[in-house]
Structure 1
Amino acid sequence: MALLLAVVFFLASCQTKPKNDHHDIGQVKVDDKLKALIAPSNEQVVAKAVVVEASYETKIFTAEVQGIVNYDSRSETSVASRVGGRLEKLYIKYNYQPVKKGQLLFEIYAPDLAAAQQELIYLSQSAGDQGLLAQAKQRLLLLGMSNQTIQQVLQSKKVNYRIPVYSPADGYILEKTLANNNASAVIAPSGDSSGDGMSGMSGGGSGATVSAAPAPQIDNSPVMLREGQYVNAGQSIFTIYKADQLLAEFALKPSLGTLVKKGSKLAFYKTADKEDSFQTSTIGLIQPMIKAGENFTIARVYLSKGMFKAGEILTAKIPVLVPQSYWLPESAVVSIGAQSMAFKKENNVFVSVKLKTGLRMNGMVQVKEDIANLDFAKNAAYLVDSESFIRAKSN
């Protein structure tokens, strides 16, 4: 009997034994106080570092930008063919060749001009109506012949198959296709895309610099037109720029372009000759531009006669007032491609965050969002792992 009771108690104890939960195998519960220690190093950092708060103030600085002297397109004169025909002789050898008013540019053969001359000779030799003769002369004038050439035809009684075309103005001549390219060729500012701005500033007005890509040079390249080439009626062949009508164009980054207005004062000089070419003027035109996927602003200044030549590189200093905004030390912001990042202090750890930045000047970075009462690591570069790419969330 005792043996039977022992067996019953043994079976009962086996049935009430708790079952193992296989789902708990391999799981480790982490104390909330230790979570900061196991987070990835490219998201947050546990460190003792000096922290800074953003300042909120207005700044005045002088931006330094590069530019180029170019021809004023408002004074250009177009040379077009009034008839379709073949270029028999070309007297323009290279672009930006100086020409005088009345100078021979090219000679053209046109069937319409030859037929109109034959009609003029016939009417001049017959005793017909003088009104028809006057209309024949007017037709040749409308087709591009000069009075002098018409009188030569009447005297010689021979058709002139090579009609000369003369320059209508003084200046520098270039092919129309190149003129169109130069109209769209502007200096594109370069620099740190993450900051979208400048690499220097003065709190009281001395030099900040904004680097600009080399401006397009005006070269005396050979013309692409060739003798024997056909042109259409009304086709514009050459453009003549007046030598005394020049302007200066300066490229501004978008963040700076919003602060510069038409009529703003600036000082500029030849980059190669600062002492003898220093001038002050006002901006006559502000023009937004998009080139190669990059947007920027062109500030245009109309120049006086005599001192500058087309193609010269200029340096300008523009005083700019920046309205109240937040500013962080440049050392507190890390640039990664087109993004700007900083390490914000949260619960005794530094968390990486993205920032919307603007101008960079005098060791300070403009922040275009509210970061009041936030602490940031003063030297963000010290918290970056050299083998990690920082991951951050928006602030």
Structure 2
Amino acid sequence: MKRYLNILFLLLALFTAVACQSEQAHDHAEETTYTCPMHPQIVQDEPGDCPICGMDLVPMSAEGEAIEITDDLAFLLQPTNQTIVSNINTVKPEEKALPVAVEMEGIITYDDRRVYTVPTRVGGRIEKLYVDYNYQPVSKGQKLMEIYSPELVTAQNELLYLVQSAPEDEALIAGAKQKLRLLGATEAQISQLIRTGEASYTFAIYSPYNGYAIGLNTTAPVARPSQTSITSPNNAAGGMNGMGGGTTGNMADRSTAAPAPGESIQLREGMYVSTGQPLLRVVNPEQLWAEFNIPAGEVASIAKGAPVQVTFPQLPGEKLEAQVDFLQPFYEAGENFAKVRVYLPGEQKVARVGQLVEGAATYTTPPALWVPREAVLDIGTKAVAFKKEGGAFRPVAVTVGTIQGELVQVVEGLAQTDQIAANAQFLVDSESFVKVAE
């Protein structure tokens, strides 16, 4: 009996020990907390992932104590894409007014106000042409062509008849002379007509301007439907009005021989011209333009009268000093830009029409903050500077303006008292991790 009691007491003690161990294990399981090995400030009651780095949480040791997060340690515990700890030189934005030069590329063109059109005052046929090619020099009073015009022949005969039959009627004679003048005759031609007493069947047209002939087109004309001769039924039948019909067809051809708007002038000997038709254009190259295209954002900085230095890539060392005379915004092919026009000095021999040139327009900016170009990082969608706060650098978005040499203008994002990294490129790796706080 005693033996059985000993066995019973032994089983009871064993059961008590197992129950105590199970209760201790249960209490230990309820008290277990989990933390991140890299970020000990993260403490949770159940397993999971670290909200900062994504690592698996591990059980915290029983004897482990919570780590006190000081201000210095807080910088180290921030995500790597928010704060960077580094020993690098810093600079402060400097407020000043800086002279800036806008680099431009352009071309030499004519002054539109010095391009003249020489029209014909009377209809007729060109018998002799003295202007053969584009850019041929033309001087004032030079003979351009000789033209035959029945209207001029009739006006000459009227003046000769009055001079010979009614020399006392000065009013009629003066009227006949004025008619010839309106038809393009010069005083010398009228005097020669009265002196010789013979009408000239060809009249010379003289240039009223100095310059170069442009707008000539010596290629064969392409016939348009309006230029074909108009044949009447009488012409086709060869009847009584055959001559009149033929004349009508020729006159229709002459009246429609004028070039259509936008076409080059088909100037050649033997062609018929109508009254008022432009014969050629004469450009005076004494005053030339240099036209430059610049981005639309820079036109607000350049004012009329700003000095411009014009250089010639083909002629190193040649420079011209000029001023901005005209600014005009343009929109073409989906692009906004502005056209800057500069009048070149009249007494110079280096500029030629069609020549490519470069220009630098200078102006002084209003007082603004300027920092080195290396201190601003362009990450595509925005520009970033790294401002020093405490012992680390924090990226801040900045708005840049004018770039001049090694300096860049900061419009927004920085204050004059801020310290920023002198070189922002050291923070760039193969995958840009810069995260700007909104």
TM-score if structure 2 supplies the norm length?
0.53
8 Å contact kept, 1:261–1:283: no
Correspondent of 1:322 among 345, 350, 365: 365
Correspondent of 1:263 among 305, 321, 324: 305
Correspondent of 1:120 among 143, 159, 162: 159
**SS of residue paired to 2:367:** strand
Shift of residue 132, structure 1, vs aligned partner: 1.8
- The residue aligned with 2:95 is 57
8 Å contact kept, 2:104–2:292: yes
**SS of residue paired to 2:146:** strand
Shift of residue 357, structure 1, vs aligned partner: 4.3
8 Å contact kept, 1:340–1:357: no
**SS of residue paired to 2:365:** strand
- The residue aligned with 1:241 is 283
The answer to whether 1:157 aligns with 2:198 is yes
What is the rounded CA distance, in whole Å, between the counterparts of 1:249 and 1:125 in structure 2? 60
What amino acid is aligned across from residue 308 of structure 1 in structure 2? V
Shift of residue 82, structure 1, vs aligned partner: 2.4
What is the rounded CA distance, in whole Å, between the counterparts of 2:128 and 2:85 in structure 1? 78
8 Å contact kept, 2:295–2:336: no
Shift of residue 272, structure 1, vs aligned partner: 3.5
- The residue aligned with 1:190 is none
The answer to whether 1:171 aligns with 2:211 is yes
- Specify which structure has the bigger relative contact order, considering alpha-carbon pairs within 8 angstroms and separated by 6 or more residues: 1
For the pair shown, the structure with the greater C-alpha radius of gyration is 2
The answer to whether 1:360 aligns with 2:398 is no
Runs of 4 or more off by more than 6 Å in structure 1? 49-54, 348-353, 373-377, 392-395
What is the rounded CA distance, in whole Å, between the counterparts of 1:335 and 1:163 in structure 2? 74
- The residue aligned with 2:250 is none
Shift of residue 232, structure 1, vs aligned partner: 4.8
1:64-92: per-residue Cα shift (whole Å, max 9, x none)? Answer: 44454444444444422223455444322
- The residue aligned with 2:428 is 382
Deviates more, 1:296-305 or 1:54-63: 54-63
Unaligned runs of 5+ in 1: 1-28, 36-43, 178-222
- The residue aligned with 2:352 is 310
**SS of residue paired to 2:366:** strand
- The residue aligned with 1:143 is 183
- The residue aligned with 1:17 is none
1:310-355: per-residue Cα shift (whole Å, max 9, x none)? Answer: 235444444432223355655644375xx6554889xx999997x7
8 Å contact kept, 1:49–1:378: no
Decide whether aligned partners of structure 1 residues 61 and 349 sit closer, same or farther in structure 2, where only a CA change above 3 A counts. Answer: closer
What amino acid is aligned across from residue 117 of structure 1 in structure 2? Q
Unaligned runs of 5+ in 2: 1-47, 55-79, 218-263
Shift of residue 302, structure 1, vs aligned partner: 3.7
Decide whether aligned partners of structure 1 residues 225 and 55 sit closer, same or farther in structure 2, where only a CA change above 3 A counts. Answer: farther
- The residue aligned with 1:207 is none
1:360-388: per-residue Cα shift (whole Å, max 9, x none)? Answer: 332444344445569799239936759xx
1:104-159: per-residue Cα shift (whole Å, max 9, x none)? Answer: 11334445434433433443454474422321121110121223333455536345
Q: What percent of counterpart residues are identical?
A: 27
8 Å contact kept, 1:45–1:349: no
The answer to whether 1:294 aligns with 2:336 is yes
Aligned length: 305
What amino acid is aligned across from residue 225 of structure 1 in structure 2? Q
Shift of residue 303, structure 1, vs aligned partner: 0.6
8 Å contact kept, 2:91–2:419: yes
